[in-house]
Amino acid sequence: MTEGNAFGLILRFAVPLFIGNIFQQVYNMVDSVVVGRFVSSDALAAVGCGASPFGFFMTLIQGFTVAASVLISQAYGAGNKKQLRQAYVTSSAITLAAGILLTVIGTLIARPLLILLKTPPNVLDQSVIYLRTVCMGLLATCLYNTMASCLRAVGNSVIPLYALIFTSLMNVALDLLFVISFGMGVFGVALATVLSQLVSGVLCLVYAMKYFPEFSLLNIAGSLHRQMAAEVMRIGMPSSLQSSIVSISAMCMQRAVNSYGSTVTAGYTIGNRTDQLFFCLSFAIGLAVGTFAGQNAGAGNYDRVREGVKKGFLISTVYTLATAAILIPFAPQICRIFTTDTTVINIAVPYCRLMSAFAPMLGMVFIYQNVLRSCSDIAPTVWMSITEVTSRAILPFVFSALWGYAGIWWATPVGWTASVIIGFLRFRSGKWMQKSRKTQERLEGA
């Protein structure tokens, strides 16, 4: 990505990510559709309640996969294969250790955590089953995310896509088999997700080992590097903190929603799943621009980083406006895919419409966070997340006291707007260039 047309490179890189993100969301959507259609609205609410805390555990691990992506993309851009190998092995070892620890913790505290989140009593037991099952499969999810991040960092977004398409279809088949044929309910959709993620991770690992010598599992101990471990922690810990803060804010929103009962929880689950699907390209563009920025920062092409940001904004804005034009008028029809319960649908539709109206702001959040992080400028991204958390942890309770459960929805766009302001000011200051240079100097001098 250090040469050629920035617009075309970002778009070509983002499209496979976009398709991959769609299939990633299919995992969640199919779980919700299957239990909503073939089990009950309570089962749908249970999956939604369990998914929120699981997202928290995943974000704690994803910070280290972000660190791997940042360091690998910079080493790849600089043409330093030894440094690339060290980044891969060291970050993978740290991620594995974190994954094992969180698997144990998540399994043990599932019920107390769900009670803390005011999970409705009529769905609590099912929520515990779902959360414990996906937590016990956390390493499978971790494997895919790690290998996908490593492959994308060297510019290969296609193989993670192929693996995800295959295993998404596998997940659909297993969901239907476990729920309809075997009557396994919420446990069935959770087990299907874990098995599918395991297969996708193994496929990416096998490909990486075959076509990238730096990703070989041979001589792992000899590739562990102390200074690289320090860089992984320096980038990974704040990134984990940043992502976990956002996830905590999501759990705060979930707690506020849960207090209104399982029907509102089911409506929120549908709205959340729908918007996540429609915003896939925004997320993909953020990752693509971040990879573009990391490689060019590693090569010292800072003007090209700025160019990539401008092109990313253009693509993201056009896309989010187009999705809003679809989702706002057709939200009722889309929500009916999940359930035939009219009350639940009437709760989900206003949520979908509000989020889609502010979708361009979310696209900017993704771009600024990924670009600053890829240039090793981590602190501002943490402040961006803290701002989101403050909005989503406090405002749901304030707004719901004023306007009922519908007031909860407004906390999210307020947080996005505040986060964009921080990202814009930091990027415009140019201090991210200094952070990138210092990272390269530390690693080259080690």
The DSSP line for 400-436 is HHHHGGGGGGGHHHHHHHHHHHHHHHHHHHTHHHHHH
Hey, is 209 helix, strand or coil?
Answer: helix
User: Which pLDDT does position 124 carry in this prediction?
Assistant: 93
Residue 431 has pLDDT above 80, yes or no: yes
User: Which pLDDT does position 135 carry in this prediction?
Assistant: 94
Residue 393 has pLDDT above 90, yes or no: no
User: Which pLDDT does position 333 carry in this prediction?
Assistant: 92
Find the domain containing 421 and state its range.
6-445
Q: How far apart are CA 130 and CA 186, in angstroms?
A: 6
User: Which pLDDT does position 103 carry in this prediction?
Assistant: 95
Mean local confidence (pLDDT), 5-13: 85
Residue 162 has pLDDT above 60, yes or no: yes
Residue 1, domain member (yes or no): no
Q: How far apart are CA 284 and CA 297, in angstroms?
A: 20
State both tokens at 201.
Answer: 């991770």
User: Which pLDDT does position 203 carry in this prediction?
Assistant: 93
State both tokens at 100.
Answer: 């094992």
Hey, is 198 helix, strand or coil?
Answer: helix
Mean local confidence (pLDDT), 11-30: 76
Which pTM does this prediction carry?
A: 0.70
User: Which pLDDT does position 56 carry in this prediction?
Assistant: 85
Residue 278, domain member (yes or no): yes
pLDDT digits (tens, 9 = 90+) for 328-379: 999 999 888 888 889 989 999 999 999 999 988 989 999 999 899 888 887 8
Residue 28 has pLDDT above 80, yes or no: no
Task: Calculate the dihedral angle through the C-alpha atoms of 427, 428, 429, 432, rounding to the nearest 10 degrees.
Answer: 30
Residue 340, domain member (yes or no): yes
**DSSP string of 216-263, one letter each residue:** -STTHHHH--HHHHHHHHHHHHHHHHHHHHHHHHHHHHHHHHHTT-HH
Report in angstroms the alpha-carbon separations of 71 from 81, 301, 429.
Answer: 12, 16, 23
Residue 260, domain member (yes or no): yes
Mean local confidence (pLDDT), 311-334: 90
Number of domains, the chain: 1
Residue 126 has pLDDT above 90, yes or no: yes
Residue type, 166: F
pLDDT digits (tens, 9 = 90+) for 44-68: 888 888 888 898 888 888 888 888 8
Residue 152 has pLDDT above 90, yes or no: no
Residue type, 31: D
Between helices 185-211 and 41-78, what is the axis angle to 10°? 10
Report in angstroms the alpha-carbon separations of 8 from 162, 169, 228, 279.
Answer: 21, 29, 32, 20
Q: How far apart are CA 128 and CA 113, in angstroms?
A: 9
Residue 29, domain member (yes or no): yes
Q: Tokens 């779902």 map to which residue?
A: 130
User: What band does 423 get if pLDDT is binned at 50, 70 and 90?
Assistant: very high
Query: Is 229 exposed, middle or buried (CB count within 10 Å of its CB: 0-12, 13-18, 19+)?
Result: middle
Q: Quick one: what percent of the chain has pLDDT higher than 90? A: 24
User: Which pLDDT does position 444 carry in this prediction?
Assistant: 66
Find out whether 31 and 195 touch, Cβ atoms under 8 Å.
no
User: Which pLDDT does position 446 carry in this prediction?
Assistant: 53
pLDDT digits (tens, 9 = 90+) for 80-105: 888 888 888 898 889 899 999 999 99
User: Which pLDDT does position 279 carry in this prediction?
Assistant: 79
Residue 445 has pLDDT above 70, yes or no: no
Mean local confidence (pLDDT), 142-160: 86
Q: What integer best gives the mean pLDDT of the chain?
A: 86
Mean local confidence (pLDDT), 5-34: 79
Across 355-402, where does the E strand assignment appear? none
User: What band does 205 get if pLDDT is binned at 50, 70 and 90?
Assistant: very high
Task: Return left, alpha or beta for 190; rule: phi > 0 is left, psi -120 to 50 is alpha, else beta.
Answer: alpha
End-to-end alpha-carbon separation of the chain, Å? Answer: 26
Residue of 115 and 6 predicted with greater confidence: 115
Residue 243 has pLDDT above 80, yes or no: no
Q: How far apart are CA 232 and CA 72, in angstroms?
A: 11
Residue 438, domain member (yes or no): yes
Half-sphere exposure (Cβ direction) of 145: Cα atoms closer than 13 Å: 21
Q: Tokens 């928290």 map to which residue?
A: 56
Residue 394, domain member (yes or no): yes
Q: How far apart are CA 28 and CA 15, in angstroms?
A: 20
Q: How far apart are CA 118 and CA 313, in angstroms?
A: 39
pLDDT digits (tens, 9 = 90+) for 164-197: 888 888 988 999 999 988 989 899 999 998 999 9
Q: How far apart are CA 80 and CA 444, in angstroms?
A: 10
Residue 174, domain member (yes or no): yes
State both tokens at 86.
Answer: 């060290």
User: Which pLDDT does position 225 carry in this prediction?
Assistant: 81
Q: How far apart are CA 80 and CA 288, in angstroms?
A: 21
User: What band does 230 get if pLDDT is binned at 50, 70 and 90?
Assistant: confident
User: Which pLDDT does position 113 carry in this prediction?
Assistant: 93
CB atoms near residue 424 (< 10 Å): 12
User: Which pLDDT does position 55 carry in this prediction?
Assistant: 84
Mean local confidence (pLDDT), 259-273: 87
Mean local confidence (pLDDT), 118-134: 93
The closest of 356, 347, 359 to 328, measured between CA atoms, is: 356
